[in-house]
Amino acid sequence: MFLVEGNKLIQEVLESFPSLQVLLYTTTPEVFKNIWNDRCHEIALADLRKISHLQNPSTSILLCTIPERKLLNHNLPSILLDGVRDPGNFGTILRIADWFGWRQIVASEDSADVFHPKVVQASMGSVLRVEVHYIKWEEFLAQSELPVISTAMDGENIYQTNLPKKFHLVLGNEGSGVGEFLHSKSDMQITIPKSEIRGTSSAESLNVAASAGVLLGEIFRSQHYQ
């Protein structure tokens, strides 16, 4: 099972995944009256704070059964997360992928747990709409026919590159980037160039979730508005 916290997020999850298991609350939330049943339990605020992973928990916590995943599709254009360990980054990437229509994420086994409370929180319900699979890269690439495009500081300018229609996009670890194996298996490497319009940027790098937003936005624009 996994935890969902915050009334707005709980409502979002219930719309995507109505199989409610247990709802714990400290005050009766009006927004949940339509699902009120014998699996909704009032508890003390002190107990809710012990369960919660948030510093300032809201008035309710939802416990859900982890849904069964669909079979991994090796030839569905996917985002490959190589050692993305920060739950906040992982969840935000899920949300961005959902927004731009990427239906599958494949992650290395050392990446964050997709049902970590912070991943669920950051994804805002997208954790239940985007399929996430964990697999060794050797196994995944052996059965995939799509090209692999990875991110690198010295890659080709994303704004000046003609990308294939279908491909896997690799995003790397927060500190060390894409690992050597996927780096060596990539058909192309791309980068987000620094802006020189307002002067040279002194920023060393972009957050991996921020990079995902820029890249997926540009990929969407180039594939749909040209």
Supply the pLDDT for residue 27: 77
Supply the pLDDT for residue 21: 75
Task: Say whether both 111 and 200 belong to one domain.
Answer: yes
Task: Say whether both 58 and 116 belong to one domain.
Answer: no
How many domains would you assign to the chain? 2
* Whole-number Å distance between alpha carbons of 216 and 149: 12
Can you tell me which residue has the tokens 């409502």?
A: 11
Percentage, residues of the chain above pLDDT 90 = 61
**Contact between 71 and 46 (Cβ < 8 Å):** no
In 107-139, which positions are buried (b, 16+ CB within 10 angstroms) versus exposed (e)? bbeebbbbbbbbbbbbbbbbbbebbbbbbebee
Residue 113 lies in a domain: yes
Q: Tell me the pTM.
A: 0.90
Domain that holds residue 161: 79-224
Task: Say whether both 35 and 124 belong to one domain.
Answer: no
* Whole-number Å distance between alpha carbons of 39 and 194: 52
Task: Say whether both 92 and 117 belong to one domain.
Answer: yes
Residue 73 lies in a domain: no
Residue 74 lies in a domain: no
Supply the pLDDT for residue 197: 60
User: pLDDT digit string (tens) for 183-212?
Assistant: 999 999 999 998 766 556 667 778 999 999
User: pLDDT digit string (tens) for 41-69?
Assistant: 889 999 999 999 888 888 889 888 888 88
CATH number at residue 21: 3.30.1330.30
**Contact between 147 and 51 (Cβ < 8 Å):** no
Residue 70 lies in a domain: no
- The dihedral built from the CA positions of residue 123, 129, 134 and 139, taken in this order, carries a sign that is negative
Judge whether residue 11 has pLDDT over 90: no
Residue 47 lies in a domain: yes
Sheet containing strand 104-107, strands side by side: 131-134, 104-107, 79-82, 168-172, 148-157, 188-191
Supply the pLDDT for residue 152: 93
Calculate the average pLDDT of the chain: 89
In 143-152, which positions are buried (b, 16+ CB within 10 angstroms) versus exposed (e)? ebebebbbbb
Supply the pLDDT for residue 201: 64
- Straight-line distance from the first to the last Cα atom of the chain, in angstroms, rounded to the nearest whole number: 44
Residue 72 lies in a domain: no
Task: Say whether both 88 and 57 belong to one domain.
Answer: no
